[in-house]
Amino acid sequence: MQLAREELEQAYRQMKTIREFEDHLHREIAKGTIGGFTHLYGGQEAVAVGVCENLRDTDYITSTHRGHGHCIAKGCDVKGMMKELYGRADGLCKGKGGSMHVADMDVGMLGANGIVGGGPPLATGAALAAKLDGNGGVALSFGGDGSCNQGPVFESMNIAAILNLPSIYVYENNRYSEHTGASYVIASESIASRVEGFGIHTVKANGFDFFEVHEVMKELIARCREGNGPCAVEFETTRFYGHFEGDPQNYRGPDEVKNDRENNDCVKIFRSKVTEAGLLSDEDLDKIDNEVISLIETSAEEAAAAPVPSPEEVTTDVYVSY
Amino acid sequence: MAKMSYREALTETLHQEMANDENVIVMGEDVVGGTGSPGGPEAIGGVFGVTGGLFGKFGAERVIDMPISEAGIAGTAAGAALAGKRPVAEIMFADFMGLCMDQLMNQAAKFRYMFGGKATCPMVLRTSYGAGMQAASQHSQSPHPMVTAIPGLKVAMPSTAADAKGLLTTAIRDDDPVIFFEHKTLYGLQGEVPEGDYLVPFGKARIVSEGNDCTLVATGRMVSFCEDAANALSADGISCDIIDPRTTSPLDEDAILDSVEKTGRLIVVDETPPRCSFAADIAALAASEVFSSLKAPIKTVTGPHSPVPFAKELEAAFLPSPVKIKTVIEQTVNFS
Ligand SMILES: Cc1ncc(C[n+]2csc(CCOP(=O)(O)OP(=O)(O)O)c2C)c(N)n1
Ligand SMILES: [Mg+2]
C-alpha cells in the first residue's frame, strides 16, 4: 500500500462514484425513467478503478456492455454520462449512444460496446497506433468471462503477440455470461491459462481487492510501456445486480449475492483496509461518500431537466463529410 | 385455433418439430439458459423466452447452450446441417450476424450451388431484430435486406403469431438455409394460431387487407403500422391493399404486382435505412413490371440513412410510424 493519501482518496472516490451511479440507475430504471438495455457494474468497482488509476489520459481503453464503471474510472464526465443515459441532447454522446455506447475520446475512452468481444480488436489497433507514435502509450481492453470465447478476441491477442504491441487484455470473471456459468463455456482450466497459449504474459488476481488490482496492473502496464509486448490478466469478481435490469437471477445460488455483498464488497474491503492501516479515517471516507452522493443527485437532477435531442439530430454525425 | 402470443407460437413450434424429427436440434447462447450455473440449467430458456421447456423435454444432447461465439454457432449449425441434422440456431440479436457473415454468405448459402446440387444445408438461424426498444445502434438493426441479397439463403419475417408458427414449421422442414427474423417488439403480440401441424408456404404473401386506392407492402412490425395508417384513412373513403410478403426470399412478386395493377399506387414501408433496401427492391420491381398501371410515383417509407439512435425522440424520428405512413398515403392518393 504505497499510495499517497491523495491517491487513496481518489481511488475511493472513483469506486464510490461508480457504486452510487449504478445504485441510482437501479432505482430509476425500476421506475421506468430510463429506457434501453442497461447493465450495471456494481460489485466490480475495484477492477475498473484499480486498472485505470494506472493509466494516463493519453492511454486508451475499450469497454463492454457493462461499461459505466470503466467510463467513470477512465475519467468520463459523470454529469455528461448521466445525461447520456437519460437520452439528453447534451449527453456525452448527444443521446445517440446510451448506456452501451458511452465514449469520450478526450480521455482515451474508446467506447462501451454492445458487441461482446467488440473491444479487444479495437484496443489492439489503438495499441498499434500508440506503438507507431512511440510515446509509451498503451491500450487496454476490458472484457467479461463470456467475451473470451469470441473469435475476434483470439485473433486480436495473436496479432498483438506477433506485432509485440503495447496492449493489455483485462478479463473480469464475474462467474456468468448472462445466465450461463463461466466454467461451462470456458473449456480451459481458466481464462488466464488459455491466454498464455497465445504467448502473452498473463496473471490471475483477486478483483475484490483494489490494492491487489492496482499492484498487479502497475507492474503489467509498466512492462507494456517498456515495449515488452502484450499482457493479460484475469480478475475474479462479482456483479451485485442482475445481468440486465429486471433479471430475476434465478440462475445464481440462493445466497450468492447476499454473501458477496457481505464478504466480497470491494468498497467495504477498501474502507476496512485503509482505516485499519490508519491511512484514512472513517470521517475522511464519510466526507467523500457525502460528496459523491451529492454529485450523483445533482447529476440526476440536471439530467432529468436537460433538453431532449431534436429530431433532425437523427441524421447528423453519420459521417465526417458526405 | 388457440389464442397465444407470437413467442408462445414459436415455442410451440420448436416443441412440435423437435418431437416430430429427432434430427432437429436447438443451439444458441442461453437457449437453455443457466448451464453451468448454480440455479441452472434451464433457468430462463432464451433471453426472449422462446426456447423455454425444450431442455427439460429433449435434453442436453439436442438443446445446447453455446458460448458467446456467433461465428462458431453459425458454422456449427451449417456443418451439422451438411451432415444430416436440422439445426435451429439462435443468434440473440440480428446485429450479431455481423460476426457470422462468413458462415452464412460464403458457406451455408453456397454449398448446394458450389457442390453441383449434391448437398443440402437445412439449417434455420433464428434471430431477433428491429428497433423500438431504445436498444440503440448495435441492438436495433434490421439486416434482412443484406441476407435477402444473398442467393442460397431464404428469409422469413413473421408479423403475426399464426405466421410465426406456420413459417417456422416450414423453415425447419425446408432443405435450404433459412434466416428467420423475429421482431423483438412482437413477442408479446397475441393471435389465433392453428393447432397441430401448421405450415405457411414460403413465397406466398398474406393479404392483410383489401382496398382499391393504394398498395402498401410491409413486413414484421411495419405491417400493423400500415394497418393503423390505413384504418385512419378509411373514414375519408380511402382504402388500401396491405400485403405482407412473409418471406423476402423467395418473394411473392405476383401478389405485389397484381395489387399494384389494381390500385395503381405503391408504398413500401420498412424500418431499415433506404439504400439498397427491401423497399428499394420492391419499388424497382413494380417500376419495371407494371409501370403503365401506375397513377402516382412509387413511394417508400423507411428509416433515414443513419444508424438507429438511443434517445427515444431520436428513435421515433428514425422509425416509420402510422402517422408518417398516413401522410405518404394521402400524398400518393392525391397525386396529380
Ligand atoms: C456478439 C454478442 N453476442 C451476444 C451478446 C448478448 N450479450 C450481452 S452481454 C452477454 C454476456 C456477456 O458476458 P461477459 O462477457 O461475462 O460479461 P458480463 O455481462 O458478465 O459483464 C451476452 C451474451 C452481445 N451483446 N454481443
Ligand atoms: Mg461475466
Domain residue extents for chain B: 2-193, 206-333
Mean pLDDT of chain B: 98
A&B contacts, CB < 8 Å: 172
Sorting pLDDT into bands at 50, 70 and 90, what band is A195? very high
**φ, ψ dihedrals at B290, nearest 5°:** -130, 35
Tell me the chain A residues in contact with residue B184 when contact means C-beta distances shorter than 8 Å.
Answer: none
Torsion angle of C-alpha atoms B99, B104, B107, B113, degrees rounded to 10: -160
A78: nearest Cα among A55, A117, A109: A109
CATH of the domain at A65: 3.40.50.970
B42 C-beta closer than 6 A to ligand 1:
no
Which contacts (CB < 8 Å, 24+ apart) does range A301-304 have? A302/A79, A302/A82, A302/A83, A303/A79, A303/A82, A303/A83, A303/A85, A303/A86, A303/A88, A303/A91, A304/A33, A304/A86
Give the residue on A whose Cα is nearest the Cα of B37.
Answer: A181
**φ, ψ dihedrals at B87, nearest 5°:** -75, 140
Using the mean position of ligand 1's atoms as its centre, give its distance from the Cα of residue A12 in Å: 28
Using the mean position of ligand 1's atoms as its centre, give its distance from the Cα of residue A65 in Å: 7
Of A116, A245, A252, the one to substitute when testing ligand 1's pocket (max ligand atoms within 8 A of C-beta) is A116
| Beta carbons of A251 and B40 less than 8 Å apart | yes
The pLDDT tens digits of the residues spanning A282-294 come to 999 999 999 999 9
| Beta carbons of A117 and B68 less than 8 Å apart | yes
Residue A320 covered by a domain: no
Higher pLDDT, A2 or B177: B177
* pLDDT given at position B40: 85
Tell me the catalytic residues of B: 139
Tell me the chain A residues in contact with residue B43 when contact means C-beta distances shorter than 8 Å.
Answer: 179, 250-251
The pLDDT tens digits of the residues spanning B142-195 come to 999 999 999 999 999 999 999 999 999 999 999 999 999 999 999 999 999 999
Sorting pLDDT into bands at 50, 70 and 90, what band is A2? confident
Q: How far apart are CA A277 and CA A283, in angstroms?
A: 15
The CATH fold of domain B206-333: Rossmann fold (3.40.50)
- A 10 A CB-CB count for A34 gives 20
State the smallest CA–CA distance between residue B184 and chain A in angstroms: 13
* Beta carbons of A43 and A241 less than 8 angstroms apart: yes
* Beta carbons of A176 and A182 less than 8 angstroms apart: yes
Tell me the chain A residues in contact with residue B99 when contact means C-beta distances shorter than 8 Å.
Answer: 115, 117, 150-152
The pLDDT tens digits of the residues spanning B278-298 come to 999 999 999 999 999 999 999
| Beta carbons of A180 and B35 less than 8 Å apart | yes
Q: How far apart are CA B51 and CA B168, in angstroms?
A: 13
| Beta carbons of B43 and A250 less than 8 Å apart | yes
Per the structure, the count of domains in chain A is: 1
Mean pLDDT of the region A45-71: 98
A66 C-beta closer than 6 A to ligand 1:
yes
Residue A321 covered by a domain: no
A116 C-beta closer than 6 A to ligand 1:
yes
Tell me the chain A residues in contact with residue B307 when contact means C-beta distances shorter than 8 Å.
Answer: 318
Can you tell me the ipTM of this complex?
Answer: 0.97
Work out which ligand 1 atom sits closest to the CA atom of A174: 20
Residue A249 covered by a domain: yes
Residue A322 covered by a domain: no
The pLDDT tens digits of the residues spanning B69-82 come to 999 999 999 999 99
CA B263 vs. chain centroid, Å, equals: 26
Mean pLDDT of the region B261-274: 98
State the smallest CA–CA distance between residue A214 and chain B in angstroms: 29
Give the residue on A whose Cα is nearest the Cα of B315.
Answer: A314
Work out which ligand 1 atom sits closest to the CA atom of B29: 23
The CATH fold of domain B2-193: Rossmann fold (3.40.50)
State the smallest CA–CA distance between residue A180 and chain B in angstroms: 4
Cell numbers placing A321: 463529410
Mean pLDDT of chain A: 97
B114 C-beta closer than 6 A to ligand 1:
no
Tell me the chain B residues in contact with residue A29 when contact means C-beta distances shorter than 8 Å.
Answer: none
| Beta carbons of B36 and A253 less than 8 Å apart | no
Q: How far apart are CA A81 and CA A21, in angstroms?
A: 10
Residue A142 covered by a domain: yes
Using the mean position of ligand 1's atoms as its centre, give its distance from the Cα of residue A186 in Å: 14
Query: How many secondary structure helices (H) and strands (E) does chain B include?
Result: 12, 14
A144 C-beta closer than 6 A to ligand 1:
yes
The pLDDT tens digits of the residues spanning B41-89 come to 888 899 999 999 999 999 999 999 999 999 999 999 999 999 999 999 9
B95 C-beta closer than 6 A to ligand 1:
no
Q: How far apart are CA A43 and CA A18, in angstroms?
A: 9
Give residue A108's identity as a one-letter amino acid code.
G
Using the mean position of ligand 1's atoms as its centre, give its distance from the Cα of residue A26 in Å: 19
Domain that holds residue A285: 5-315
* Beta carbons of B142 and B271 less than 8 angstroms apart: yes
Sorting pLDDT into bands at 50, 70 and 90, what band is A1? low
B99 C-beta closer than 6 A to ligand 1:
yes
pLDDT exceeds cutoff 60 at B241:
yes
CA distances from B275 to A208, A235, B148, B152 (A): 49, 45, 14, 22
Which contacts (CB < 8 Å, 24+ apart) does range B281-287 have? B281/B145, B281/B148, B282/B217, B282/B256, B285/B253, B285/B256, B285/B257, B286/B256, B286/B257, B286/B260
Which among B72, B138, B310 has CB closest to A115? B138
% chain A with pLDDT above 70? 100
* pLDDT given at position A49: 98
| Beta carbons of A181 and B37 less than 8 Å apart | yes
pLDDT exceeds cutoff 70 at A98:
yes
* Beta carbons of A107 and A57 less than 8 angstroms apart: yes
* pLDDT given at position B43: 85
